[in-house]
Amino acid sequence: MTGFDAGAAAQVLLAARRSARPADGLTPPPGDTAAAYAVQEAVLAGLGDPGGLWKMALLGGADRECAVLPGATLAQSGALLAVPADARIEVETAFLMAADPGPDAAEDDILRAIAAVHLAFELVAPRLAPQAKLPPLARMADSFSSAGVVLGSKLAKPPADRLGIALELDGRPVPTTEAAAPLADALDFLRWLSGHARRQGRDLKAGDVIITGARIGPLPLNGARHARAKAAGACVELRLGDA
């Protein structure tokens, strides 16, 4: 995109990460998905982080895209994480990969490329403000506002459209509506992601973790200090501190 400097945009986001204070948007914002992906890559380079953590996402709620996230933002269940006061939480499933399935893989081959499916939390906290006025491509450049992923235990069986997730904040049940997430849709997205990663020079590999989209949330934490979710024999927990 003429006139857009992905490196300069990345510096704005890196400064917001360091200060834990949102920046005033990106001026100019990225004009296309290639520019938004270039910002994601420049942020990883600035962090000295190899990636290996991926987020499936929909640009503007419609178009299939993704974010490559810093591997350092992946935590294990029970971790203590510092989060901004306005952070929100999502309950998701996450694929732990055994191999790159390939962009033309059949469904059985994709399933064999997945080592396990885990229950997970994603924390959402944008590094750009005001969030309500951000164009979708700026949100994409900001890794779709991902602020961390917590990997829980493995599901006891392949994920169903709905898992019957029970979420608690500070030990109190949270009334929620769980979104349907058909496995076939996630596998098709994973096939797309395999091709995309190769085009970005980032083949999927054993050990990569891919979050597949919110089944619950994003929900406000409202000052909670402990979050726990259970479903299908799996559990994920998170302790929360101030950023």
Read off the pLDDT of residues 100-131 as tens digits, 9 standing for 90 and up.
999 999 999 999 999 999 999 999 999 998 77
Beta bridge pairs of residue 67: 55
The whole model's pTM is what?
0.95
Q: How far is CA 87 from CA 56, 58, 79, 155, in A?
A: 19, 20, 16, 26
CATH superfamily of 51-242: Fumarylacetoacetase-like, C-terminal domain (3.90.850.10)
What letters, b where the CB count within 10 A reaches 16 and e where it falls short, cover 162-176? Answer: ebebbbebeeeebee
Express each pLDDT in 71-83 by its tens digit. Answer: 999 999 999 999 9
Q: Is the pLDDT of residue 86 over 70?
A: yes
Tens of pLDDT, residues 172-213:
999 999 999 999 999 999 999 999 999 999 999 999 999 999
| pLDDT band per the 50, 70, 90 thresholds, residue 132 | low
Alpha helices in the chain (DSSP H): 6-19, 33-47, 107-113, 136-141, 183-199
The ranges assigned to domains in the chain are: 51-242
CA 142 centroid distance within chain: 11
The 3-state DSSP class for residue 72 equals: helix
DSSP-derived 3-state class of residue 70:
coil
Enter the DSSP assignment of 161.
S
Q: What is the per-residue pLDDT for 1?
A: 47
